[in-house]
Structure 1
Amino acid sequence: MSKKDLTQKTLLRLPDVFASLINFLIFDNCPVIHPDQICPLDIPAQFDYDFSLNPVYRDASAMVLDPNGHPSFIVNFENQTAHDPTMPIRAMGYTDTAYFWQRSQLIKSSRPSLPFSLSRFVLSLTIVLHYGKDPWKARSLHEIIHLEQTSLLKPFVSNYTMNLENIAWWDEERIASIGSDFRFIADYCVQMRKSSKAGRTRYDPPAGWKIEHVEETLMTLAAFSKDEALREGCWKYLEKFKLNPKKGETTMASVLDHYFEKKEKLYLEREQQY
């Protein structure tokens, strides 16, 4: 697993981040779901295995409980940094896997210890989070299998269109309203898209946003960033953060010092070469 993929999973699996994304994407950013309603799940894929033949788990999956602690629905988040023409089939498989997992729980005589009691099937949905600069059009199963060549069979084939979010095209004001550290990642994607279009690649971190999960957020930004100074600044801050027993409130302003310090150092080194 790549460092980028690993850090994305770590951030998304935090209950407050997971809940904030559900509220942002499904409930029009209303605080309907709270972190204590998020129960992370590790559901292995039906057909995906790594080189050691171990099952591959979804990027982030969780059972969402209702206010009374009963299972309400399952959400799967899948990270994508590039377009994949087979994604509707993959997303459909992730959703189906959650239903198969529910089936196995319902028919087992002895179930593993879970913080909830599953007595019926609940809705499962998958949302693909696309971090790339180029917008990606959500395609359907019918488009992939070219059903027009066998049009007589169309009434017998259920269509499936993946739920897709092009993060780099999210509205900046809405991003600022996200109630978790994921807003830093979304803001980064938007800035990279706009700066790339302008012919320069630059990221200016919001100085006033407080970071709740310093390590997970900065590690994700470091993995995403193509700016060597920003990447090294994030890692340098993390080293200092881990050694500091007084981990007080942290904002992006705390990281900016390292960012510009590294920028200035690189500039001086280049000047000395001439």
Structure 2
Amino acid sequence: MQEKDITQKMLERHNDVFSDIVNVLLFGGKKVVEEESLFDTVTDSVLKIDGRARIQDRDVAKYWKDSQINIALFGIENQTNPDKFMPLRVVGYDGLEYTRQVRKECNGESKYPVITLVLYLGYDKKWTYPKNLFGVLDIDEELKPYVNDYKINLFEIAYLDREIIDSFTSDFWILADYLYQMQVNRNYVADKKSIGHIEELLMLMSAMTGDKRFEEVIDEANTKEVMNMCEVLDIVEARGIEKGIEKGREEGADLISRLNTILAKEGDLDKIIKANTDKKYRKELLEKYNLLND
């Protein structure tokens, strides 16, 4: 899980990816938030719980600014598995940012909203846990009128309409397309869409799929100036074939070595020579000594 968190953050920290996510999910694909208007902010906060310091860390957070004025703070939280306490977590993240605004020395500074997007990146099952505070809390009916509800902005990427997925223009489209295909077909067919951040995307694909080959081909993909996932998969496939051939050679050499050991114990030099020069005869001996079935 930790590796997935790290790789998701790496891709989303790029302003083109971050703004693309916000614009598609919040503004229907309109380019409301420009890349140049986003600025990184700290993602960790120190809390004191039961007398001990605890660090609460957002995945990615950026200020949306107009000149030097904050319009809003956007936060993105990634979830590969549903979390029933997600509303409580989001309340904590957003509340800390509002607390920072209260503590700022310049009282005349305008206050701005905090908006957290929860991206559910699972495709095996839908999110079935509550998406609001009331769904998590056990509230007495008499108290309910006095408790403020708090809903989370949760987006199940694999279950979005195809039209929405195709609204993404950054590398996030490749991830969304992968999740959608896996959810619908349990199979992924690559596209020729250009990749902007090859290393971050391949590390993310490696973490999401559990297939380390994506990460292993990063250097070769950079060297060959790979442009899309079709080319990436070509390299992955070529490496797989190469490894298969090499593995076959190693296994073949091991079988010959074991056969030579048996023949040496029998003391028949002619058999050893013929077994190492005649493939048909060698196969007959391998079958005779049951070495092919080990």
TM range (shorter): 0.7 to 0.9
Partners of 1:264 and 1:241 in 2: CA distance: 17
The 5 A counterparts of 1:48-127 are 55-66=55-66, 68-104=67-103, 106-107=104-105, 119-127=109-117
**Contact preservation (8 Å) 1:43, 1:57:** yes
**Contact preservation (8 Å) 1:71, 1:122:** yes
- Give the match for residue 235 of structure 1: 215
- Give the match for residue 44 of structure 1: 44
One of 96, 121, 142 as aligned partner of 1:131 = 121
Q: Indicate yes or no: 2:260 matched with 1:260.
A: no
The 5 A counterparts of 1:108-257 are 119-133=109-123, 134-137=125-128, 138-147=130-139, 150-196=140-186, 202-206=187-191, 208-226=192-210, 228=211, 231-232=212-213, 234-241=214-221, 244=223, 248=225, 250-257=227-234
**Contact preservation (8 Å) 2:131, 2:154:** no
By how many angstroms is 1:225 displaced?
Answer: 0.8
- Provide the identity percentage: 28
**Contact preservation (8 Å) 2:171, 2:196:** yes
Partners of 2:78 and 2:181 in 1: CA distance: 19
- The amino acid across from 2:90 in the alignment is A
**Contact preservation (8 Å) 1:43, 1:98:** no
- Give the match for residue 21 of structure 2: 21
By how many angstroms is 1:40 displaced?
Answer: 1.2
Change (3 A) 1:102 1:43: farther
Partners of 2:68 and 2:178 in 1: CA distance: 35
**Contact preservation (8 Å) 2:87, 2:133:** yes
Cα shift readout 1:185-207 (whole Å, capped 9, x = no counterpart): 111111222234xxxxx32221x
**Contact preservation (8 Å) 1:37, 1:69:** no
Unaligned runs of 5+ in 1: 110-117, 197-201
SS in 2 for 1:128: strand
- Give the match for residue 114 of structure 1: none
**Contact preservation (8 Å) 1:38, 1:63:** yes
By how many angstroms is 1:249 displaced?
Answer: 6.5
By how many angstroms is 1:53 displaced?
Answer: 6.0
Cα shift readout 1:86-117 (whole Å, capped 9, x = no counterpart): 1111111111122122233x2279xxxxxxxx
Partners of 1:265 and 1:203 in 2: CA distance: 23
**Contact preservation (8 Å) 2:73, 2:115:** yes
TM-score normalised to structure 2 length? 0.75
**Contact preservation (8 Å) 2:77, 2:117:** yes
**Contact preservation (8 Å) 1:15, 1:40:** no
**Contact preservation (8 Å) 2:221, 2:232:** no
By how many angstroms is 1:254 displaced?
Answer: 2.5
Partners of 1:54 and 1:238 in 2: CA distance: 36
- The amino acid across from 1:250 in the alignment is M
**Contact preservation (8 Å) 1:46, 1:97:** no
By how many angstroms is 1:55 displaced?
Answer: 2.6
By how many angstroms is 1:253 displaced?
Answer: 2.8
By how many angstroms is 1:240 displaced?
Answer: 2.0
Partners of 1:48 and 1:26 in 2: CA distance: 34
